[in-house]
Amino acid sequence: MIEFKNLHKRFGKLTVLDGLDLEIKQGGIFAILGPNGSGKTTLIKCLLGMVIPNKGDIIYEGKSVLRKWEYRNNLNYLPQIANFPPNLSVIELIKMVKNLRPKTSNEKDLITLFGLEDFLNKKLGNLSGGTKQKVNLVLTFMFDSDLIILDEPTTGLDPISLIHLKELIQKEKSKGKTILITTHIMSFVDEVADEIVFLLDGKIYFKGTIEELKQKTDNNNLEHAIANLISKQYA
């Protein structure tokens, strides 16, 4: 479904992606992991068309998507920071996003799922971080798309909302969707991910199942297995 071919990206003298090759198949939950500065965010932004690589290509559903935009109608993106216009109400923001996308939406079910009925007419600038994240999730999941990209989706969520998020992700997976997740919460990864992709210094150092990583590092704890992987590369 997605193929990154020999991807290079530099910001000045800093090399962020260094000849990265990665193929992600259709369907399933893929966690993209790595320490700060490993290239995770840049990789996602390249896929979104927000960053143009210096070299290489990105293939989505069999076609190169560099400097194109139409393919973005078939993906949903949850940014790490819910940076909304503070003077808009929740319902005004939802209506605005609906007007911007030529797709059918199912926001009503999601509003109920995350308990946002009493917040619809409140200004976004007056909401807590956790409530803004729930709005963020509604905006992300209310359109039916084959690819869903979630950047730190658990931020600020209470335990009940986190359970609903996990159920929602599994529901989308059951429909054959491809879900990319970046997060630092290893317990979340351990629970939901089918495969992990581990980046370090702009390159892929591991791609496979969680069980394969645990066997590779001889460690049954995912957090320790990741730490072991990092320490081996810098040894």
Please report the pLDDT score of residue 83 as a whole number: 86
pTM as predicted = 0.93
Confidence of residue 80 (pLDDT cuts 50, 70, 90): confident
Q: How many domains does the chain divide into?
A: 1
- Whether 45 has a pLDDT exceeding 90, the answer reads yes
Phi then psi for residue 80, to 5 deg, are -65, -40
Please report the pLDDT score of residue 117 as a whole number: 97
**Residue 20: CATH number of its domain:** 3.40.50.300
Please report the pLDDT score of residue 118 as a whole number: 96
Domain that holds residue 169: 2-234
Q: Using one digit for the tens of pLDDT, what is the confidence trace for 186-196?
A: 999 999 999 99
Please report the pLDDT score of residue 234 as a whole number: 53
Q: Using one digit for the tens of pLDDT, what is the confidence trace for 162-172?
A: 999 999 999 99
Q: Which residue has the higher pLDDT, 1 or 121?
A: 121
Query: Using DSSP, how many helices (H) and how many strands (E) does the chain show?
Result: 8, 10
Percentage of residues in the chain having pLDDT higher than 70: 98
- Across the range 110-137, mean pLDDT stands at 96
- Across the range 24-49, mean pLDDT stands at 93
Q: Which amino acid is at 96?
A: M
